[in-house]
Structure 1
Amino acid sequence: MDQHLIVFKEVAQRKNFSRAAKELHMSQPAVSQYIAALEKELGVRLLERSNKFVELNRAGEIVYQYAQKILRNYDQMRILVSDLENEPSGQLKIGASYTIGEYVLPRFLAKLQEEFPNIIPTVTIGNTEDIGAKLVQHEIDIGLVEGNFTHHQVSTRQFATDEMYIIAGTGQSFKEEACISIKDLENETWIIREEGSGTRKMLEDFFQRSNLEPKRILTFGSTQTIKEGVESGLGISLLSNLTFKKEQKLKKIQRIFVEGTPIKRKFSIIKNYHEFQPKALQVFENLVKQEA
């Protein structure tokens, strides 16, 4: 592999020759020589230097973007060739939206560890839009998301169906199993997830379908915080049935039955279109489909 691109990528990321040299286990003069040789080969300056740091100029930004792709493709090639002769192994970067990552993924990972101990998963959890963006930027290998994510370079395949319910604290004046009218919910405080969340998108769609205009909305950044708010009587919310089973069993949260609920949504596997895929990714995808 071209060592010039490896060195350049490290300098671009560290913005410092000394830190790049330390990471690459090289001397600083050797790093400087590689950068000088690459600039000479391309006939253009790539870095703007100062005493303390270096910055990419416009030409450097172009080279950096292509260097990332070239090095990533080289690593992918090595993995795929190795897969021809070896059992699935190596690092697998998995992204998951919050509901799946916190309540579904651990079961998949336990099964993966049991059947393929040489696969080392690393997990990123975020909202659906975050996970989709990381996949497009090749920061993860595969994503498990709730709701919809569409992009021209991403394939989507449903692996499960989820049910969502409106919930309230047991101290609030709702009777579980009783059917509540939508109009009764208009004056309630609604606790919702942040922009980009699949859960929030489902709730916004429900508001629109039901012509419901809540008088007061609070936005929280996690499902756990929303549940605690609901338990305390702060407001009501819409969450996946997977997320509040324990609280319901302990009689801290109750489901409210309203026309149009429960709301069903799909859980999907998203991945980049590739002609070839590493064995580790293939076995994880198959495991998710089987276990779900």
Structure 2
Amino acid sequence: MEHHLKVFLEVVEKKSFSRAAEVLYMSQPAVSQYIAALEKEFGVRLLERSNKFVQVNRAGKIVYQYAKDILRNYDQMKLLVSDIKNSPSGQLKIGASYTIGEYLLPKILAKLQIEFPKIIPAVSIGNTEEIGKKLIHHEIDIGLIEGHFTHPQILSEKFSIDKMYIIKGGRQSLEREVILSREELENETWIIREQGSGTREVLEVFFRKNHIHPKRVIILGSTQTIKEGVESGLGISMLSELTLDKELQLHTIHKLEVEGTPIQRDFFIIKNHQEFHPKALQTFETLVKSNRLE
């Protein structure tokens, strides 16, 4: 039954018997036989066929949704049983928000490779909201995020802290190392991250708390792009100290003295609640917690 479901999923996703056969290294008649056997098992047609397309019907949609969960649980079962007798191994799908993924995670992965070479990481980078959604949909096994993501399915645990600073380019007009007023901050061009970003969340809280309403805002989709914009004099921003080592050493970016900063925020590990977690995931989680920033 396991293989029948795999064949069915492939036909639905490829919308073609022939394309599914290519991916599965099977003949097209063999694929058709597997689908026919599955339909006989359920006593109902699952796919609507024509010369031009294969389309899943209402019954097929139900089987498709449950088949994905069945196969995922079956794979997890095999992995957990294997874990009992073996050292941590196998693929581990890790999701990380941008600041963590680009500036902290590489160091952790380097240590993981040295200490546990049988664990093969596959990394997805996105903003906090994107990583949370990937975890809910089982596209990743564990997430590392810099903002808050709440969902009944998700277990969240703080693993480190970060400090956020308002920054400017080295050649900008704001050269005074004094506490800037609310009016001065409002008159600056702010370069900020997109909605759903943990960095954006912290900045919006800062704006609300200090009653700051920037007159001009530019939205950019990555930390690196924001740093380049700040360096070029496009505007000011708020970023993690973790992202600024090189620029601060080269004096291309400076921290601004602003009341209420630096702002401390938490980094979180998120994982699916009430699920069995394989040894590889537990090993990685322990390694992450040992690399605290405090």
Q: What RMSD over aligned residues (CA atoms) do the two structures have, in Å?
A: 1.2
Q: Which digits, 9 at most, give the CA deviation of each residue in 1:194-241, with x for residues without a partner?
A: 111111111111111111101111110111110111011111111001
Shift of 1:3: 1.9
- Structure 1 window deviating more from structure 2 (213-222 vs 53-62): it is 53-62
In structure 2, the residue corresponding to 1:64 is in which secondary structure? helix
Quick one: distance in 2 between partners of 1:144 and 1:31?
Answer: 40
Using the size of structure 2 for normalisation, the TM-score is 0.96
Q: Is 1:176–1:254's contact at 8 Å kept on the other side of the alignment?
A: no
In structure 2, the residue corresponding to 1:144 is in which secondary structure? strand
Q: Aligned letter for 1:252?
A: T
Counterpart in the other structure of 1:233: 233
Q: 1:81 to 1:50 in 2, by over 3 A?
A: same
Shift of 1:43: 2.5
In structure 2, the residue corresponding to 1:174 is in which secondary structure? coil
Report matched runs for 1:144-159 at 5 Å. Answer: 144-159=144-159
Shift of 1:50: 3.1
In structure 2, the residue corresponding to 1:258 is in which secondary structure? coil
Shift of 1:60: 1.6
Quick one: distance in 1 between partners of 2:55 and 2:235?
Answer: 49
Shift of 1:24: 1.4
Shift of 1:255: 0.7
Shift of 1:40: 2.4
Counterpart in the other structure of 1:128: 128
Counterpart in the other structure of 1:43: 43
Unaligned residue ranges in structure 2 (runs of 5+): none
In structure 2, the residue corresponding to 1:151 is in which secondary structure? coil
Shift of 1:158: 0.4
Q: Is 1:182–1:258's contact at 8 Å kept on the other side of the alignment?
A: no
Report matched runs for 1:181-200 at 5 Å. Answer: 181-200=181-200
Quick one: distance in 2 between partners of 1:193 and 1:55?
Answer: 40
In structure 2, the residue corresponding to 1:257 is in which secondary structure? coil
In structure 1, the residue corresponding to 2:266 is in which secondary structure? strand
Quick one: distance in 2 between partners of 1:194 and 1:21?
Answer: 41
Quick one: distance in 2 between partners of 1:143 and 1:98?
Answer: 12
Report matched runs for 1:18-37 at 5 Å. Answer: 18-37=18-37
Counterpart in the other structure of 1:73: 73
Report matched runs for 1:37-186 at 5 Å. Answer: 37-175=37-175, 177-186=177-186
Identity of aligned residues (%): 68
Counterpart in the other structure of 2:261: 261
Quick one: distance in 2 between partners of 1:107 and 1:284?
Answer: 12
Report matched runs for 1:184-223 at 5 Å. Answer: 184-223=184-223
Shift of 1:33: 1.3
Q: Which digits, 9 at most, give the CA deviation of each residue in 1:39-74, with x for residues without a partner?
A: 222222222223343222222221111000000000
Q: Aligned letter for 1:278?
A: P
Counterpart in the other structure of 1:244: 244
Q: Is 1:176–1:255's contact at 8 Å kept on the other side of the alignment?
A: no
In structure 2, the residue corresponding to 1:84 is in which secondary structure? helix
Please state if 1:282 is matched with 2:282: yes
In structure 1, the residue corresponding to 2:187 is in which secondary structure? coil
In structure 2, the residue corresponding to 1:291 is in which secondary structure? coil
Quick one: distance in 2 between partners of 1:255 and 1:34?
Answer: 64
Q: Is 1:191–1:226's contact at 8 Å kept on the other side of the alignment?
A: yes
Shift of 1:7: 0.8
Quick one: distance in 2 between partners of 1:56 and 1:178?
Answer: 65
Q: Is 1:182–1:210's contact at 8 Å kept on the other side of the alignment?
A: yes
Shift of 1:262: 0.7
Quick one: distance in 2 between partners of 1:42 and 1:282?
Answer: 39
- Structure 1 window deviating more from structure 2 (273-282 vs 194-203): it is 273-282
Shift of 1:118: 0.5
Unaligned residue ranges in structure 1 (runs of 5+): none
Quick one: distance in 2 between partners of 1:87 and 1:176?
Answer: 57
Quick one: distance in 2 between partners of 1:58 and 1:166?
Answer: 53
Counterpart in the other structure of 1:10: 10
Q: Which digits, 9 at most, give the CA deviation of each residue in 1:228-276, with x for residues without a partner?
A: 1101111111100111121111011111121111111100000001342
Aligned residue pairs: how many? 292
Quick one: distance in 1 between partners of 2:224 and 2:43?
Answer: 55
Shift of 1:176: 6.0
